[in-house]
Amino acid sequence: MEFTIGELLEMQISITKISQIKDVPALVGYKIASLVRHLNGPVMDAVKAKEDLIRKYAGKPDEKNQISVLPENMASFFKELNELVAEKVEVDVKEVKLPADVKLPDASTLIGLDRFITV
């Protein structure tokens, strides 16, 4: 299935939440674990690329050791960020159908995952 890197970045929290679903039939649990495994690598690659981009255009860390993009670098940063999030990648995922009575960690669990997870 094809995704943009932006879509993968949006899925990051949902992937963590979906991996916490318990008390499902064994086959559904297997499919969830497989889905998480296939998505985790590309998502982590996307997160690293975004973090590297921020570091590239950031100033020195502040007193809390946090960095931010310098104002004079914003145009270049956003140009590269837009190119990054628009890039398309192919990820081997299969649809997972969750049981109707599944207990989700919270209401936002499936955000960004609706293309391949159904209830």
Question: How would you label 22-46 residue by residue, b for 16+ Cβ within 10 Å and e otherwise?
Answer: eebeeebeebbeebbebbeebbeeb
State percent of the chain over pLDDT 70: 100
Q: What is the pLDDT of residue 71?
A: 95
* pLDDT of 103 strictly over 90: no
Computed over every residue of the chain, the mean pLDDT equals 90
* pLDDT of 86 strictly over 90: yes
CA 50 to chain centroid, in Å, comes to 12
Q: Domain count of the chain?
A: 1
DSSP class of residue 64 equals T
The model's confidence at residue 101, banded by pLDDT at 50, 70 and 90, is confident
* pLDDT of 87 strictly over 90: yes
* pLDDT of 114 strictly over 90: no
Q: Which structural domain range is residue 9 located in?
A: 2-118
Q: Looking at residues 9-35, what average pLDDT do you find?
A: 88
Answer whether 77's CB lies under 8 Å from 53's CB: yes
Q: Looking at residues 36-64, what average pLDDT do you find?
A: 91
Q: Looking at residues 4-32, what average pLDDT do you find?
A: 88
* Single-letter amino acid code for the residue at 68: S
